[in-house]
Structure 1
Amino acid sequence: MEEGATLWAWKSWALLTAVRSQSPLIQCITNFVSMDLMANTLLSAGASPAMLHTLEEIPDFTPQVHALCLNVGTLSADWLPAMKLAAELAHKSGKPWVLDPVAAGASGFRLRACLELVELKPTVIRGNASEIIALANASVGLTKGVDSSHESTDAVESAKSLARASGAIVAVSGAVDIVTDGKRVVGAHNGVAMMTKITATGCSVTALIAAFVAVDQAHALEATAAALSLFGIAGEMGMKLANGPASLRMHLIDSLHGLDEVCVLAHVKIASLS
């Protein structure tokens, strides 16, 4: 293993160890489809999920969490004020928050909502290539719902542009997961194609990113890349035992829970792309 790759592997293991020991509380305002897998992903990694989205509870609760994850998958006008207030309070409290702009380019309402949330200074924005391109261009475009019409590598320049404009770390999920701060670009090369056949895997890795950033907010790019890589490794390990998407879902959770130092150091594949 090259020296740079070795450093990434050790860094990823250190972050996972920190999540397990600190058990950060992660508030998730997310969609109805993803709640179960997102909560189980956080639990299996050692974090503590809170699926709390009621506007009236947010002023008391959100300032107490270690990180916030906002996901607009089943967005409605009723939920948007709660998302905005939670983002404002997280930012004011100095807590990191992560945005998942699901299907950002699918409608004008959804795009406007995502752009308004970006204005509230997310620490990390994680989406697929089509979502990141839509946000960077602030335009409604060709979309396949929550699926990407582009490869992650198609969105590198859009991701860099969005990172510079927003001040956020931007991650683009795909066959290679891209992470950038607007200057540096790194790629995480873990995962298996079957993971795209399980609903809410993207949502769940966004929540995992929130947990990793919670334990090392000062190095959000590294935390983001590590979370993407380790989730991908869990998928690789799970795939060895799975017969299809349903069993992979189960084994993915088990594998994330069971990741040990030897496995992490042997399988992390993160490399600089710039």
Structure 2
Amino acid sequence: MNELDFIWNALEAVRKSGPLILSVTNYVAANLNANALLAVGASPIMSHQVAEIEDLVTISSAVVVNMGIPADTLPEALYLAGQCANTMGKPLIFDPVGAGASSYRNKVCNKLLTTSSPDIIRGNASEIMALAGQSRATKGVDSLHGTTEASSSAIELAKQYNCTVCVSGAVDLITDGNRSLFVGNGHSMMPRITGLGCTATALAGAFAAVVKDKVDALTSCMAILGIAGEIAAESSNGPGSLQIGIVDKLFNISREEIEMKINLSM
């Protein structure tokens, strides 16, 4: 199977099975996350309500926990969702938004990682480095580091938590601590869309729900999102129209477009 086959097959699997993805996420990114999931063929459901988390995990194909804005009931919902996903054998995807920005966010991250075991951790370089304890430098939820700087942190995290880690950036790194792939797709305007990183994490949930190999799942997810961004940017006037264009392209992206644009290396 070549690189195109596993990426296209992963997307086709999402489109055919329509997995239900529970996202315990932040309200800044919720709308875009839900629309992106629908566009690739998955179904979103979202909640911060602790009382219903167990029921929602039960009916979901994968669980995404996004630290986002860790206020009110969100942290407790994150912890419970993680524990339930592990107990029920559902893929668990963790996005440590803003890790390193405050001691409180660091505490939330640490508690989640000690009370549950994510299958996937996806963040920007600064977040991944902060999670590994290698840096406290951050710019809110934005990255001050590049993928290359975070590669050792990503590998360390993958081995420590027996999971697959994605460092997103101009080039995305996906590693399980032994096998590493790099996705060079995307567009420089994409970081100007708020919540697009969170959207990558939500999409990772959809792909992880249908692809057993989590490196393949994450690579497929990041490649398709990056290619959608590249194609949408060709007819976009700015971040607003780019956001709409990305959702549209996630809906109608073709095998031929993936074959023409894919930029994948080891």
Asked if TM exceeds 0.5, the reply is yes
1:58 pairs with 2:58? no
Matched residue of 2:182: which SS?
strand
The residue aligned with 2:119 is 123
1:132 lines up with 2:119 in the alignment: no
Question: Which blocks of at least 5 consecutive residues in structure 2 are unaligned?
Answer: none
CA displacement 1:179-215 (0-9 Å, x = unmatched): 1101111101100010001101100011001100000
Work out whether 1:105 is the aligned partner of 2:100.
yes
Write out aligned runs for 1:58-207 (5 A): 58-119=53-114, 120-137=116-133, 141-207=136-202
Paired residue total: 265
TM value normalised by structure 1: 0.94
Correspondence for 1:246? 240
2:203 maps to which residue?
A: 208
User: Residue by residue, what CA displacement relative to the aligned partner does 1:150-191 show, whole Å, maximum 9, x if unpaired?
Assistant: 001110000000110011100000110001101111101100
Matched, 1:256 2:255: no
Q: What amino acid is the match of 1:116?
A: K
1:265 Cα deviation after fit? 2.1
Letter in 2 for 1:73: G
Please state if 1:43 is matched with 2:34: no
**Which letter does structure 1 place at the counterpart of 2:36?**
T
Distance 2:247 2:55 in 1: 31
| Displacement after TM superposition at 1:266 (Å) | 2.1
**Aligned 8 A contact 2:49 2:73 in 1:** no
Normalised TM-score (structure 2): 0.97
Q: Distance in 2 between matches of 1:167 and 1:39?
A: 28
Q: Aligned partner of 2:76: which letter?
A: P
1:228 alignment counterpart: 222
CA shift for structure 1 position 112: 1.4
Tell me the alpha carbon deviations over residues 191-248 of structure 1, each in whole angstroms, 9 at most, x when there is no partner.
00100011011000110011000001x2001100110010000001100110111110
The alpha carbon displacement at 1:70 in A equals 0.8
The Cα of 1:77 is off from its aligned counterpart by 4.9
- Over the residues paired in the alignment, what is the CA RMSD in angstroms? 1.2
User: 4+ residue runs of structure 1 moved beyond 4 angstroms?
Assistant: none
Match of 2:9 among 14, 20, 32: 14
Paired amino acid for 2:98:
A
Query: What is the distance in 2 between the residues matched to 1:171 and 1:151?
Result: 13
Q: What is the percentage of aligned positions where both structures have the same residue?
A: 42
**Pair 1:265 & 2:259 matched:** yes
2:21 partner SS: strand
Q: Quick one: distance in 2 between partners of 1:270 and 1:172? A: 15
